[in-house]
Structure 1
Amino acid sequence: MAASSVWKYCEEEQAGKSALIVQFSNGQIKNTEQVDFTFYKNADTSNPRKKNRRIVAADTDRLCYVGNNYGAGSLKCNNLCKYYVGVLDKKTNRMEVHNAELFSMQPVLPGETLKEEGASEIQDKSYREKVDSLIEAFGTNKQKRALSSRRLNQVGSETLHKAVAKAADNIIEKKGLKALVQDVVQTETQAENDLYLPPCNPGAETPADVYAFDSLISPAQYKALETPAQTLKGLSEEDIQKMTQEGSSLVVLKELQCLPKDPEAQDHKVRCLWYLNWLFKLSSQRRIGPKYGSEEGMPRNIMTSFLKNFTVETFNDGQIRNMVPASMKTKIVAYALALLLHIRDFEVDLTLLQRDFRLTENKMLEVAKAMGLKIGKISVLASGGLMEDHKLGTLVLPLMKYDQRMERRKRKKMS
């Protein structure tokens, strides 16, 4: 029968005594017999903050080490966990269990004095210098080369920083701070516009070439629209009324009521309206499924183009999903507006477009101004026989330029 062992909690722990476990920050002690340890405790036992403070010092033939259980250099694990050390007596099979406390031993260079409380911040700042001094004195050749390289890089970085600062001061002095701020605002605005505006040729000679039709609908996509677009031809008043009740686009319904009689022009317009109608449907979606549009006869190349240009891929639950975030909805609005410019002889009722996309008037005008359109007003006969003012966007050459800095300032004041 195996001998049994019992453990006993040491009674001296109740008097505040505990075992000490030390770890050295820069290596391991091979021969512990050659290390002299000294233990200090705070003499102010009446102060509850100081009575438990302890310091452990270790002297070797090369360096001195110091560790404490308070301040910035102490181990935080002592406050989070409680440690024990067991000492087994093999003769009696009795184990004495002692409270334990961990200390991190840091090297102290000759000539240094211990920092008093309140100087921990200074000690933290100079710790890098202490390590560098140790490397210079006892480091290997590889460590010394790395130290020298780091110091050279630090000098080079400071020199580069001074050169850049001097060059910036010269540019500000020559051009002026106000002009530089304006250039930065224009650059940022142009970068934001490039994210969602269709390809633009501001130097075009005709309005049709500013936002080229082929950049909106490619020739391959235009050919694929021939079959599905036929469903929009010859719609009766009842069909249009039914589409109105189903919440179809106001712009598309209005254009379907005035199709040209020329077969070629009519075919071109219904293809554009079919594509435009699907842009409206896409903007109302949050997530695009893998079979989106297939049941309605959407051509595969158009579906691929929609996913590539107007959605963002996200990874969720082990699947790749296509989402339509707010930024992509703005891009859809810009492409729909550019396509409407070709359909409507480069004049678009922005108010109707705004209502279809459920935008605010300021957001719709922001997109129109970013595309360089001239903003005007037009009176339109509304339901009930009343006249209402609509915003009108017109593409004229040269393109309109708006002060983006003033526009941003106005929006900031309004918000």
Structure 2
Amino acid sequence: MASPERERKRKRDVNGQPRAVPSSTSSQSIKLNAIKAGTHPPILASMHGIELPADLKFDAYTKKAKVSKHTAAGTLFAGRETEYYLHAQTARIEYDGRMEGEDGLSYYVGVYDPKTASVDVYPAPLVHVRRQVRRLKEKEIPEKASTGTLLDSRQALSAAFGNRTSKKALIDEQLNAITTSTLGTTASASVVSAISSAVDSATALLPTSESLRSGQGNSKYLPPVHADEEGVTVDTVYNLDEMVEKRVLDGCLTGVRAWEKAVREGGEVESTISPHYVASRIRAVIDSEVNVSNRLKVLRYIEHMINFHRAFIQAFSNTLYRPKIYDNIPADDKAILGHLIDNFTDSKNQNKNDRQMSKMKLTKLYCWLLILCLKVEEDGKMDIWDLVQDLQIDRKEVEMAAREIGARVEPLKDSFIKMMGITKEEGRDHRIVALRLPLSFPKNKMLQVKRR
């Protein structure tokens, strides 16, 4: 129970006078009037994270759409409903308001009239307003099909909204399409003859199955092969002039003269990659007195190829800067390095000064190196042990290159192992590569029939 002091304070004001008691009034009743939706009912718009300009005005649009609904008894019936849209745009932004499905709620707008003390209640559709940059929206509009056929419409839809697989299939179909421009307009030529002539002209320069089996189609690795020509020999099956230009070989004369002078005077022959392949064959070539000058120039060029290979293998990502190649790799003449760069490297990232030795170029270098080494040997065969040591790679890579050029790879015989004074285990690392006619190229795997 409240104390007299607290009761006194509630019933009197600050001056101690009794508080005025408000007179009770009867509550006024308000009448609700349900108004049916007309052609232009009020529209409610929801905007999430959008700040609209103060002077922006929306235009309202309606569209009749077919819908299927179920009655309370479960009967399915078709009807038409009105869909409402709002649209407004500025110089840069476009605002679209659309009805995005039903959420199970009904929305109304009430208008109060104080004179009649009534509220008119209107059903109001709810639309969601989204914004988009106008320039981006224009780019997303797909091009309309050129013809009104169903196939063209499907292709246009696939190009605009299809996944990666369907788009690739559409591109392949367009590339392989045969039109009147492809076949020609000659009325006498049939479709079959037109296609045959087009295929023959397009595939005239492609290697055939026989050329692939014989190795003539491996142009990415090998120089021109003259295995099918009359009177071909082991020395002419690969033409030296087609591999290395004469001016490049003549650039090796400086080093060759230094070798010859040292041998004639009975001194030691100096080589930058001593004591392996090159150093072990200089004196033997000079003492043979058979085509000495040309063989020594080829041997000097082989030395530059090995140094070139070492520099790229030791570089990061097999890439070197072109000016640094001329500064850091020793060579008798700049033409030698230019020839090596053009034949065994590619430009990287569209920068012609960044030169990279790819896997394909590496295989090409090994193939050319073996061909040149076999030209230095008198009998057309060699032990690849010294070359493997110079290149500092696995022996199997050199064997693969030997088979690519059509040479035969054989193990070292026991008599040679005893003559060399090595064990059988050490002899396994030695392989004899011999170039014999007819050349024996590896069969193309794509041409082999799979056995079931």
Unpaired stretches in structure 1, ≥5 consecutive residues: 1-15, 23-30, 39-54, 71-98, 105-124, 133-150, 169-182, 411-415
Q: Which residue of 1 aligns with 2:408?
A: 374
Instruction: Quote how far apart the aligned CAs of 1:408 are.
Output: 9.1
Q: Is the CA contact 1:259–1:266 (under 8 Å) kept in the aligned structure 2?
A: yes
Instruction: Quote how far apart the aligned CAs of 1:330 are.
Output: 1.1
Q: Size of the alignment, in residue pairs? A: 279
Q: Which residue of 2 aligns with 1:94?
A: none
Q: Which residue of 1 aligns with 2:437?
A: 397
Instruction: Quote how far apart the aligned CAs of 1:212 are.
Output: 0.9
Q: Is the CA contact 1:198–1:334 (under 8 Å) kept in the aligned structure 2?
A: no
Instruction: Quote how far apart the aligned CAs of 1:314 are.
Output: 1.8
In structure 2, relative to structure 1, the CA distance for the partners of 1:262 and 1:360 (3 Å cut) is closer
**Does 2:357 correspond to 1:324?**
yes
SS of the counterpart of 1:396? coil
CA distance in 2: counterparts of 1:363 and 1:339, whole angstroms: 17
Q: Which residue of 2 aligns with 1:214?
A: 241
1:101 to 130, 133, 140: 130
Q: Which residue of 1 aligns with 2:278?
A: 252
2:373 to 333, 340, 344: 340
Q: Is the CA contact 2:97–2:129 (under 8 Å) kept in the aligned structure 1?
A: no
Instruction: Quote how far apart the aligned CAs of 1:260 are.
Output: 2.2
**Does 2:240 correspond to 1:195?**
no
**For 1:9-408, what aligned pairs fall within 5 Å after superposition?**
18-19=46-47, 35-36=61-62, 57-58=84-85, 67=98, 100-102=129-131, 128=153, 187=212, 193-204=218-229, 205=231, 206-233=233-260, 234=262, 248=274, 250-261=276-287, 265-284=291-310, 285=312, 286-288=318-320, 289-293=322-326, 296-315=330-349, 320-345=353-378, 346-379=380-413, 380=416, 385-386=422-423, 388-389=427-428, 390-405=430-445
In structure 2, relative to structure 1, the CA distance for the partners of 1:130 and 1:225 (3 Å cut) is closer
SS of the counterpart of 1:272? helix
1:143-175 superposed Cα distances (whole Å, 9 cap, x missing partner): xxxxxxxx9x98969xx9xx99xx99xxxxxxx
CA distance in 1: counterparts of 2:99 and 2:217, whole angstroms: 55
Unpaired stretches in structure 2, ≥5 consecutive residues: 1-43, 51-56, 65-81, 88-95, 102-127, 138-149, 158-173, 184-190, 197-207, 313-317
TM-score calculated relative to the size of structure 2: 0.48
1:217-261 superposed Cα distances (whole Å, 9 cap, x missing partner): 222222222123223332699956x85xx7547211221242323
Q: Is the CA contact 2:347–2:353 (under 8 Å) kept in the aligned structure 1?
A: yes
CA distance in 1: counterparts of 2:130 and 2:59, whole angstroms: 21
Report the residue type matching 2:399 in the other structure.
L
SS of the counterpart of 2:353? strand
Report the residue type matching 2:245 in the other structure.
S
Q: Which has the larger radius of gyration?
A: 2
Q: Is the CA contact 2:331–2:337 (under 8 Å) kept in the aligned structure 1?
A: no
CA distance in 2: counterparts of 1:362 and 1:247, whole angstroms: 22
More helix by share: 1
CA distance in 2: counterparts of 1:131 and 1:305, whole angstroms: 51
CA distance in 2: counterparts of 1:359 and 1:409, whole angstroms: 33
In structure 2, relative to structure 1, the CA distance for the partners of 1:21 and 1:278 (3 Å cut) is same
CA distance in 1: counterparts of 2:156 and 2:354, whole angstroms: 51
CA distance in 2: counterparts of 1:59 and 1:126, whole angstroms: 34
Instruction: Quote how far apart the aligned CAs of 1:270 are.
Output: 2.5
RMSD in angstroms over aligned alpha carbons? Answer: 5.2
In structure 2, relative to structure 1, the CA distance for the partners of 1:406 and 1:377 (3 Å cut) is farther
User: Sequence identity of aligned pairs in percent?
Assistant: 15
CA distance in 2: counterparts of 1:368 and 1:338, whole angstroms: 8
CA distance in 2: counterparts of 1:304 and 1:130, whole angstroms: 51
SS of the counterpart of 1:255? helix
Q: Is the CA contact 1:249–1:277 (under 8 Å) kept in the aligned structure 2?
A: no
Q: Is the CA contact 1:57–1:67 (under 8 Å) kept in the aligned structure 2?
A: yes
Report the residue type matching 1:325 in the other structure.
S
